[in-house]
Amino acid sequence: MALFDDTFAPYVPFGSRNLSSGDTGTDVAIVQAVYDLMLETMNPPLGPMGSPISITGTYGSSTVQAVKNIQSYFGLSADGIVGPNTYFVFGQGVGSHTTYGGPVYGSRQLEQGMSGGDVTILQNRLNCFRYASIIGKPATGTFDAATASAVLAFKADAASNGDTGFPANAIAGFGFYDATWIYTFAGGRAIQSGRNGFDVVFVQVILKGLGFYSGRITGYYDAATLAAVKAFQTAQGITSDGVVGPVTFYRIGKNNVKAAPKPLGIAWPPTAPPSPSVTVCSVGLTSQTMDLHPYGEATHVINQLEGFESLDVVGNMLYPPSHYGSSYTGYVFTLTNPSTSTIVATVKMTRVSTSTNPSDWAGAYSPGVSTIPEGIVRVYPVTSTNVKGPLVLEGNLQDCQ
């Protein structure tokens, strides 16, 4: 395993699963690293696409927000989950987006003598850099001796950049794949009008350096980018169709004679942001019922660096909601501002323990940058039409310790 994979273990092939809050692994670290690199590189028309995040390999709240930023920017549903459409923005084709006929890039170990769409992608990615002169031609989809030499050269360059630990062979295994994800950004799909993403960022940067593109680095394959690609293709004597495919990737590499580990002039690892200053306070929730059976806790979390707050509420040893009447089907908690007696939030809770009688329920209020008042937290059973029942738990955040 290479250094990246040792640091952010366990290794999980990038694109092999949907990513969401709580996941850990190298695929999460790739999302975080590429996001930070792109923030340093891009020049969005409406300003920065969020703030840098720590590269930890753990999919926490900052990563959820980063993914939502990416999705909103590229016109996807902003659910904070990395699925096939979001992977495609990263240039990774999975599911219905699988490119060059498959198999999915990174889904198997590649070595000399093998062929397939993943070999095409491997060659495309290397062909965008100095390795084009080693491979000597546009991608063919066949892993030949020249491709093996290019893989060895890439590993050597990555090791010289501090990403040590690659096996001394010409095999494209998991350490190699992760290195290509954080060092190479184009080649995983044909880039053309309508396909926006981080691979477009790379093409814009290269064409700007070569004098063909003068616009902002946006990741949008717009009219200006299309014109720049066509102008480059014409200058290279290849078909000027505006589609960046194997031939154009190869011609990019013949003109971009850099080593891949410093693809955009940014060395690995990117500068990590300062550790968030986090304040956490908790208050106990006491039973308001005659049997004094339940208890709970409300935790107010303030991330001062990111301006993010959340209120996490847990109710322990709660009877099934129907204990308070057959119409009650769940629990909610409310937060009331004591100075105005206004209910600030009403949040549905979810049963989190495996037992059914009694069981634990939890919910979270995360308004983003809004300030959560130090109000009163109350837990109630609730009907399917959101009618609250008798008060079960209560606590005052002003008593936070």
Q: Are residues 200 and 348 in the same domain?
A: no
Q: Are residues 46 and 190 in the same domain?
A: yes
pLDDT < 50 regions, the chain = 1, 265-268, 270-275
What the block records as the tokens of 173 is 């295994």
**Rounded to an integer, what distance in angstroms lies between the CA atom of residue 304 and that of residue 321?**
37
Q: Is 113 helix (H, G, I), strand (E, B) or coil?
A: coil
pLDDT for res 372: 83
Q: Are residues 214 and 327 in the same domain?
A: no
**Rounded to an integer, what distance in angstroms lies between the CA atom of residue 383 and that of residue 393?**
17
**Residue at 119 is within a domain:** yes
Domain that holds residue 164: 3-255
pLDDT for res 195: 94
Q: Are residues 95 and 221 in the same domain?
A: yes
**Rounded to an integer, what distance in angstroms lies between the CA atom of residue 311 and that of residue 313?**
6
Q: Are residues 191 and 59 in the same domain?
A: yes
- Neighbouring residues of 99: CB distance < 8 A, sequence distance ≥ 6: 93, 117, 121, 188, 189, 190
- Neighbouring residues of 19: CB distance < 8 A, sequence distance ≥ 6: 27, 28, 31, 59, 67, 81, 82
pLDDT for res 282: 82
**Rounded to an integer, what distance in angstroms lies between the CA atom of residue 62 and that of residue 58?**
10
Q: What is the pTM of this model?
A: 0.68
| 74-107 pLDDT tens trace | 999 999 999 999 999 999 999 999 999 999 999 9
Q: Are residues 298 and 383 in the same domain?
A: yes
Q: How many CB atoms lie within 10 A of CB 8?
A: 23
Largest CA distance in the chain: 85
pLDDT for res 147: 98
**Rounded to an integer, what distance in angstroms lies between the CA atom of residue 269 and that of residue 271?**
6
Q: Are residues 250 and 301 in the same domain?
A: no
| 10-25 pLDDT tens trace | 889 999 999 999 999 9
| Axis-axis angle for helices 61-73, 26-41 (nearest 10) | 50
Q: Are residues 15 and 84 in the same domain?
A: yes
Identify whether the C-beta of residue 213 lies closer than 8 Å to the C-beta of residue 117. no
Identify whether the C-beta of residue 100 lies closer than 8 Å to the C-beta of residue 141. yes
The CATH code of the domain that includes 328 is 2.60.40
Three-point CA angle 64, 192, 228, nearest 5°: 110
Q: Are residues 207 and 283 in the same domain?
A: no
Q: Are residues 295 and 206 in the same domain?
A: no
pLDDT for res 272: 47
